[in-house]
Amino acid sequence: MKIVVIGGSGLIGSKLVIKLREHGHEAVAASPNSGVNTLTCEGLAEALKGASVVVDVSNSPSWEDTAVLKFFETSTRNLLTYEAAAGIGHHVALSVVGTERLFESGYFRAKIAQEKMITNSVIPYSIVRATQFFEFLKGLADISVDGDKVRVPPVLFQPMAADDVASSVARIAVGPPVNGIVEIAGPEQFRVDELVRERLAALKDPREVIADPEARYSGAKVSLTTLMPDKTARLGETRFQTWLTQSAAQNPSRKVS
Ligand SMILES: NC(=O)c1ccc[n+]([C@@H]2O[C@H](COP(=O)([O-])OP(=O)(O)OC[C@H]3O[C@@H](n4cnc5c(N)ncnc54)[C@H](OP(=O)(O)O)[C@@H]3O)[C@@H](O)[C@H]2O)c1
């Protein structure tokens, strides 16, 4: 089966392309890097020719409110239009657990817009909502910086390894469209401040992490359970400590990443 991975050069996309190929599929990594741009439509028709499934794991280069909304609205509109013309039978998109509860955030308003366009389109679809990736913990610290400190809310979340995200998305991409939302999450629950602190310590990043009940998550107010998945979420296998040990072994000399 030919499967086009939009954002195939990214964190999830590159892992997804490898997994799909390992299972015998013709996975095409499509992104500006390889001449396919969902904003300008460059290379899109050619990439979709003969494909059965499109998986969108792209992300906006800018997370500024207006820019990110424009990215997801324009790229999703273009993708769905070209997919209809190419007779694509399954559109899979990666979104985030709790998206609809995070509307105070410009980034999440853009993800809500992306999800709505997919739901309203004629293309059969599966929206996969994942929890925060372990790989994003440092990024989370970076977007939560206040002077020389990191302020995050002491709320619950159930993050997961990017490898497990890619495995789940691959499984869903080769199955029938669910025409709905599937949630995926990690096997353990943590408090955001505890895990960000632990990640920064492992990276020898000296920034102090403050558990601040007033701190926002990506610009949105959150309650204790806003970021938590449903009880029905499919769980990945990789535990945080296992991932931490593996990533330290892969990047022994890296101080901050
Ligand atoms: N971070 C988290 O914890 C988290 C949790 C749940 C869900 N998600 C979702 O996961 C998705 C993927 O995230 P990621 O971290 O894997 O992304 P990433 O590593 O930042 O990769 C982004 C990808 O988007 C591509 N891209 C950018 N502009 C494009 C364009 N105009 N046309 C086509 N492709 C374009 C990039 O291509 P080039 O390399 O060629 O520029 C790159 O392949 C996002 O939609 C995000 O909302 C993230």
Could you read off the pLDDT of 106-120 as tens digits, one per residue?
999 999 999 999 999
| Pairing outcome for strands 26-30 and 2-6 | parallel
Q: Is 39 in the pocket of ligand 1 (CB under 6 A)?
A: yes
* Bridge partner list, 130: 96, 184
Q: Whose CA is nearest to atom 28 of ligand 1?
A: 60
Which residues, in sequence order, are bridge partners of residue 156? 191
Q: Which of 17, 39, 59, 109 to mutate to test the pocket of ligand 1 (most atoms within 8 A of CB)?
A: 59
DSSP calls for 130-176: E--BGGGHHHHHHTTEETTEEEE---EE--B-HHHHHHHHHHHHTS-
Token match 């691959």: residue?
Answer: 170
Mean pLDDT of the chain: 96
Q: Is 43:79 a contact under the CB 8 Å cutoff?
A: no
Specify the pLDDT at position 158.
98
Q: The pTM is what? A: 0.97
Q: Is the distance from the beta carbon of residue 10 to the nearest atom of ligand 1 less than 6 Å?
A: yes
CA of 166 to the centre of ligand 1 (A): 13
Between the CA atoms of 141, 145, 148 and 152, what dihedral angle is there, to the nearest 10 degrees? -70
Model confidence at 87: pLDDT above 50: yes
- Whole-number Å distance, alpha carbon 58 to ligand 1 midpoint, is 3
Range from 20-29, 84-93, 154-163, 243-252 carrying the lowest mean pLDDT: 243-252
- Contact 31 CB / ligand 1 (< 6 Å): yes
**Which of 28, 57, 69 to probe ligand 1 with, by most ligand atoms within 8 A of CB?**
57
Tokens (6 digits) for 88: 């694509």
Q: Are strands 53-56 and 26-30 parallel, antiparallel or unpaired?
A: unpaired
Q: Tokens standing for 117?
A: 């366009």
